Amino acid sequence: MFTGIVQGVAEVVAIEEKQDFRTHIVRLPQEMLPGLQLGASVAHNGCCLTVTRVDGDLAHFDLMQETLRITNLGTLKAGDGVNVERAAKFGDDIGGHAMSGHVMGLASVVDVIESPNNRTVWFELPAGLEKYVFTKGYIGIDGISLTIGVVEGRRFCVHLIPETLNRTNIAGRRSGDKINIEIDPQTQTIVDTVERVLAQRGQA
């Protein structure tokens, strides 16, 4: 489980390509290294990946074809930065909201609005995910736990404070960029359950 409180931005230092498979080698922030072992879970832009090798501050992660297909990790190149977070431990503060690290789809950045000391970013969701998005609800954007501002059909916005812009890679997002989306699991469960119950009543 993750909290959506990004611990830093890790640089992708190398990418090893294989058929329908890829290995990312990233340089993790120093504060994330203590206790890091093979098999540990680290979220990259909100996608849960497993450590396969550790060389000092460099960690290796394998990405299967499905991960490359449904997330923005397949578009990364050496020199890019990814939001990283180690899996939460029992007793940790949950400063954001509970996240599984399972990306549900890619949203497009459609507008970036600058104002003094903050920024508003608008996104457009793929069809089918909009039913899980509500004003003031939670959403995971490239691994960042954020509160939804306004919802207009398949489009929604978030408001970003300087701390979020400084600690994550969202400061560099521009119109047309694709970002990983994780819907709040509790919201998804409630919506799907209500839909199922109403469908069953309609068939009765």
What's the whole-model pTM score? 0.91
d(CA 87, CA 83): 13
Q: How many CB atoms lie within 10 A of CB 59?
A: 24
Output the pLDDT for position 89: 73
Q: What are the helix (H) ranges across the chain?
A: 65-70, 162-167, 185-203
Over its length of 204 residues, how does the chain's per-residue pLDDT go in tens digits? 898 899 999 999 999 998 888 999 999 999 999 999 999 999 999 999 999 999 999 999 999 999 999 999 999 999 999 999 999 876 666 666 788 899 999 999 999 999 887 899 999 999 999 999 999 999 999 999 999 999 999 999 999 999 999 999 999 999 999 999 999 888 888 999 999 999 888 775
**C-alpha atoms less than 13 angstroms from C-alpha of 25 in its C-beta half-sphere:** 12
**Alpha carbon distance 70, 68 (integer Å):** 6
